[in-house]
Amino acid sequence: MAVTIYDIAREANVGIGTVSRVLNNSPKVTTETRDKVVTVAKRLNYQPHAFAQALARKRSNTLSAIIPFFTNYFFIQVLQGVQETLAAVGYDLIIHGANTQEQLEEYLVRSMRKGRVDGTLLFSLELPDVFVENFIDKKNPLVLVDTFHPLFDSIRVDNVIGAKKATEHLISLGHTSIGMLNANLKSVRAKERLSSFKETMQLHGLDIHEEFIFNSTFTKNDGFSREAGYDAMIGLIRSGAKLPTAFFVSSDVQAIGMLAALRENQIRVPEDIAIVSFDDIEIAKFFDLTTMRQPMFEMGEIAVKKMLERIENPSAPISSTNFTPTLVVRSSCGANKNYIFSDSN
Amino acid sequence: MAVTIYDIAREANVGIGTVSRVLNNSPKVTTETRDKVVTVAKRLNYQPHAFAQALARKRSNTLSAIIPFFTNYFFIQVLQGVQETLAAVGYDLIIHGANTQEQLEEYLVRSMRKGRVDGTLLFSLELPDVFVENFIDKKNPLVLVDTFHPLFDSIRVDNVIGAKKATEHLISLGHTSIGMLNANLKSVRAKERLSSFKETMQLHGLDIHEEFIFNSTFTKNDGFSREAGYDAMIGLIRSGAKLPTAFFVSSDVQAIGMLAALRENQIRVPEDIAIVSFDDIEIAKFFDLTTMRQPMFEMGEIAVKKMLERIENPSAPISSTNFTPTLVVRSSCGANKNYIFSDSN
DNA sequence: CTGAAAGCGCTAACAT
DNA sequence: ATGTTAGCGCTTTCAG
């Protein structure tokens, strides 16, 4: 069996209490005994038993993250922010990929097991009502990322302003016939981006051509996928309709699919069709996409910070922060004729 | 405080032992008392305390994965296989991103804390010697993914055969002047792919032009990055040297960077330069890359299976499995003139 | 300043 | 079949 504090206590001729105190840097120990204990602990190659610690301390120093669609680049980048921030404070991260509502609930239940984790991070998924009171009753810290509930801390991106900026960029470039290639309206993000797009068009006195607005019917990834973008564009091209001169696309991955469809049909970007998309995932620059950047890494970082604060102070007021996406101009919109790849883009 | 088995025992007028038995589906309970206990447990919304269980059972049903470079698409896809397989058996996954040797060792130590996790998965990183005996002494299950050690279970991809197949594909297309754009030789993968490339060239009686072999000096991601590919190609072009007609590239991401450099200089692919790369990450098809496919999801799946078997049977013989990468022909090599994107590619 | 002892919530061996 | 009790390894009073 592994070495325990009893072994150390015996070898060092002290009580286990003292060993524990030394290990936890309690000030009430003589330098002498401290040294003695430390030496023995090192010699025995002692490693504390995390669960026993967690049980006694009622603290696990572990967080869980529930995310949909594990392979989505957006999440991966937010997760990186989470992971690095957590690592810096010695916390562990348990990852739960929830692809179905059933799984989501299972993971939520699991995360609520008292003691298992100190808090849970929920990504982009709507918190089922049943769990709302559950989390509150059990005082189980929960912070929402890219989703919202008035009773919990949250971090979001302002889709309304983002879509507005994107649309206005296209308008400022002289486009008047602008379409939108959207994800599935089941997603709140998609809904918000669409309505903001429409409002912005109206605000500038431009016509909204409903036939140029495509809401994906894909369910996988809620239509935030390359296939969704590809299929929508191919469908439009095949229909033979006259194309708009510009598109606002609800995500980079969809824009990438759209690009493939356009290329196959010898339609040039940005000459024939200008594109502004959303997210600025890492590969967006590979495709020279002009897009709305979301500070993904920072979102993860801040989510963790909020969580740690919540753990420290459970009764602090609820805090909800909104990030405003920024426009990153590359070549897909036609504004930047001399765009050349560089890592800082 | 949360509800414990003591609460249930009290309310149901039974002993905690009985409650425990019911909760663990022990057969030695009357249906009657079982029902009684279950009812009370439900009513109290009981959730077992995972750590207390782990402590008593000496089993945590949790695995840890130590991976370098969290944002690497290769790892993400392997991890997805890990995560889904684990979810199916009710295990949790703790993720550790190790960007430095120091972090690697810290995580290794943490993973070895008796009881913390039932086993650890190490990705693509060399296991420091100190830890070898440590893991063995403590009987802490360890399985290696994309890395190797004779004393532990492992899953790898055969880089030698992969590089050979890639090179021979280029040769079969009639190329004789073939270069290699490689990652940092600190990486074992890069080393193996390079030597196999050279051997294959020699095997076919072709000259190896050392000036067309580029080993990255990037340390980030060991040179398996877009920037590394871009920089190497730009450097070659600027040098004014006559270019080889084909390149074997050690990873898809590098090939993507290389593509950008070529495009900027109006060098066509595959007409002027043919490319075969390695990995077949998800976005490889977006770029029509001919590449060596590694079964990433399956690798994750099998890693978990090996781990579970090892946990069940610690003294089973060590098993090491090798995957042979398969050639996926798209258009970057010029072999498939009529290549059209479809999702099944 | 330090040792002893009482939990943390649960499992499992031991009685009954 | 069920209750009781002794740990699992650690933290934290409580005496001294």
Residue B265 domain flag: yes
**Cross-chain CB nearest to B264 (options A115, A260, A340):** A340
**CB proximity B44–strand C (7 Å threshold):** no
Write down the pLDDT at residue B140: 86
Does strand D come within 7 Å of the CB of B21? yes
- Give me the CA B92–C1' C16 separation in Å, rounded: 40
Would the CB atoms of B51 and A115 count as touching at under 8 Å?
Answer: yes
pLDDT above 80 for A220? yes
Using the structure, give the distance in angstroms from the CA atom of A10 to the C1' atom of D12, rounded to a whole number. Answer: 20
Give me the CA A334–C1' D8 separation in Å, rounded. 66
Tally the domains of chain B. Answer: 2
Where do we find the tokens 């398996």? B224
**Type of residue found at A119:** G
- Searching chain A, which residue's CA lies closest to the CA of residue B138? A2
Q: Is B270 a member of any domain?
A: yes
Longest Cα–Cα distance of chain B, Å, equals 88
Given this model, what pLDDT does residue A136 score? 87
pTM: 0.86
Chain B residues close to A48, C-beta within 8 Å: 113
Convert the pLDDT of each residue in B155-186 to its tens digit: 999 999 999 999 999 999 999 999 999 999 99
Please indicate whether residue A180 or residue B136 has the higher confidence score (pLDDT): A180
Chain B residues with beta carbon closer than 8 angstroms to that of A343: 227
Q: Mean pLDDT throughout B53-78? A: 86
**For residue range B77-96, what is the model confidence (pLDDT) as tens digits?**
899 999 999 989 989 999 99
| Contact between the CB of B53 and strand C at under 7 Å | yes
Is strand D less than 7 A from the beta carbon of A5? yes
Q: What is the pLDDT of residue B101?
A: 86
DSSP string, B71-124: T-HHHHHHHHHHHHHHHHTT-EEEEEE--SHHHHHHHHHHHHSTTT-SEEEEES
Give yes or no for residue A123 having a pLDDT over 80.
yes
Query: Which residues in B lie closer than 8 A to residue A138 (C-beta atoms)?
Result: 2
Domain boundary among A57, A73, A89: A57
- Cβ of A115 near strand C (under 7 Å)? The reply is yes
CB of B31 under 7 A from strand D?
Answer: no
Q: Is the same domain home to A37 and A182?
A: no
Min CA distance, B263 vs chain A (Å)?
11
Enter the DSSP assignment of A249: E
My answer on whether B187 and B334 are in the same domain is yes
Examine the domain organization and report whether A169 and A29 are in the same domain. no
Q: Is residue A37 part of a domain?
A: yes
Asked if residue B53 and residue B175 are part of one domain, the reply reads no
pLDDT the model gives residue B83 = 92
Q: Which of A96, A103, A116 sits opposite B50 (nearest CB)?
A: A116
Looking at the structure, tell me whether residues A166 and A280 fall in a common domain.
yes
Q: Which residues pair with A93 in a beta bridge?
A: A63
* Nearest protein residue to the C1' atom of D3, measured from CA: B15
Q: Which element (helix H / strand E) includes A240?
A: none
**pLDDT reading at B340 higher than 50:** no
Mean pLDDT score of chain A:
90
> If you measure CA to CA, which chain A residue comes closest to B77?
A71
Output the pLDDT for position A140: 86
Nearest Cβ partner of B283 from A70, A93, A283? Answer: A283
User: Is the Cβ pair B87, A103 closer than 8 Å?
Assistant: yes
Q: Is residue B70 part of a domain?
A: no
Which residue range is the domain that position B241 belongs to? 159-295+327-340
**Long-range contact set of residues B198-205: C-beta below 8 Å, sequence gap at least 24:** B199/B164, B200/B163, B200/B164, B200/B167, B200/B168, B200/B171, B201/B167, B204/B168, B204/B171
Which residues in 283-302 of chain A line strand D, with CB less than 7 A from it? none
CATH number assigned to the domain comprising residue B244: 3.40.50.2300
Residues A165 and A278 in one domain: yes
Residue A76: inside a domain, yes or no? Answer: no
CA of B63 to C1' of D13 (A): 35
* Local confidence band at A248 (pLDDT 50, 70, 90 cut-offs): very high
Percent of chain B at pLDDT above 90? 63
Residue by residue, DSSP assigns A68-121 as: S-TT-HHHHHHHHHHHHHHHHTT-EEEEEE--SHHHHHHHHHHHHSTTT-SEEE
Q: How confident is the model at residue A71 (pLDDT cuts 50, 70, 90)?
A: low
Asked if the structure places residue A6 within a domain, the reply is yes
Do the domain assignments include residue A50? yes
Q: Which residues on B lie below 8 Å from A96 (Cβ)?
A: 87, 92
CATH number at residue B45: 1.10.260.40
B51 → closest Cβ in A48, A55, A226:
A55
Tell me whether residue A249 is in a domain: yes
